[in-house]
């Protein structure tokens, strides 16, 4: 997955206050730490051939959302204590498990390892670009939040519908749109930290982690569709 390049703090042209610098620095550090349980969860999931969706994809999708939102609720409730870090890392382990199904499919391709490396590198490039843009944009981008949230809800609905429709064209469209939405979310979330709109580094890490996770997943899906090579 090549996680390391994503974690390199990007120098900023914006003058940040000491408090904003501290939140940004802690966010990058916790984001780097969160990759360890993610990779561990993904590795265990691949070894166990783990799948939440094998028996009933629709129920699996709903169960996944329920567990994920349960974790997010718990993180929000504990964000002002050390427990918040522990719950966040448990959540990233769970997300690694959920990622393992896709990784297992891609690793079954002849060039699967290359595709995963490309997806990791592409995610790192998006992160670097959005971090630099967030550092140079002079205004608060909080007005983007409502439109992005609506877009995310529509993506979830379309993804759930396609579990039953199984339309390849819709799957491709969802992945392309998701890349755009979560790249914009990444800019939005980093801008919030740099403008002082987000002052809790655990909440900030959760937001940025989810952005990067979704960018990686959808980029890997597109690479697998268009660049996958079978024996």
Decide: helix, strand or coil at residue 115. helix
Instruction: For residue 6, give the DSSP letter.
Output: G
- Burial (CB count within 10 angstroms: exposed 0-12, middle 13-18, buried 19+), residue 197: middle
The per-residue pLDDT of the chain, averaged, comes to 90
Residue among 214, 217, 228, 186 nearest 27 (CA):
186
| Contacting residues for 156 by C-beta, under 8 A, at least 6 apart | 65
The structure's pTM equals 0.90
Mean pLDDT of 142-157: 92
| Euclidean distance between CA atoms 157 and 164, whole angstroms | 12
Mean pLDDT of 2-27: 65
Residue 231 confidence (pLDDT): 61
pLDDT in tens, 43-82: 999 999 888 777 788 898 999 999 999 999 999 999 999 9
Residue-wise over 40-51: b if at least 16 C-beta within 10 A, else e?
ebbeebbeeebe
Domain ranges of the chain: 17-227
| Contacting residues for 48 by C-beta, under 8 A, at least 6 apart | 100
Inter-residue contact 205 to 198 (CB < 8 Å): no
Residue 173 confidence (pLDDT): 96
Tokens of 168: 């390849």
Inter-residue contact 200 to 80 (CB < 8 Å): yes
pLDDT in tens, 69-128: 999 999 999 999 999 999 999 999 999 999 999 999 999 999 999 999 999 999 999 999
| Euclidean distance between CA atoms 149 and 164, whole angstroms | 24
What is the distance, to the nearest Å, from the Cα of residue 109 to the centroid of all Cα atoms in its chain?
Answer: 23
pLDDT in tens, 47-58: 998 887 777 888
- Checking if the pLDDT of 144 tops 80, the result is yes
Residue 1 confidence (pLDDT): 41
């Amino acid at each position: 997955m090549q996680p390391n390049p994503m974690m390199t703090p990007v120098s900023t042209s914006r003058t940040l206050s000491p408090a904003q610098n501290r939140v940004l620095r802690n966010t990058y550090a916790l984001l780097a730490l969160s990759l360890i349980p993610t990779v561990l969860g993904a590795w265990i999931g691949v070894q166990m051939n783990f799948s939440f969706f094998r028996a009933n994809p629709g129920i699996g999708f709903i169960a996944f959302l329920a567990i994920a939102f349960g974790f997010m609720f718990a993180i929000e409730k504990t964000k002002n204590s050390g427990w918040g870090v522990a719950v966040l890392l448990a959540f990233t382990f769970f997300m690694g498990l959920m990622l393992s199904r896709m990784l297992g499919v891609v690793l079954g391709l002849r060039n699967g390892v290359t595709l995963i490396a490309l997806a990791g590198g592409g995610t790192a490039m998006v992160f670097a670009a959005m971090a630099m843009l967030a550092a140079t944009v002079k205004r608060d981008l909080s007005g983007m939040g409502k439109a992005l949230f609506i877009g995310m809800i529509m993506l979830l609905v379309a993804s759930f519908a396609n579990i039953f429709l199984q339309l390849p064209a819709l799957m491709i469209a969802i992945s392309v749109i998701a890349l755009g939405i979560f790249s914009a979310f990444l800019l939005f979330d980093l801008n919030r930290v740099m403008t002082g709109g987000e002052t809790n580094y655990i909440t900030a890490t959760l937001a940025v982690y989810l952005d990067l996770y979704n960018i990686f997943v959808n980029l890997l899906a597109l690479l697998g569709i268009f660049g996958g090579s079978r024996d």
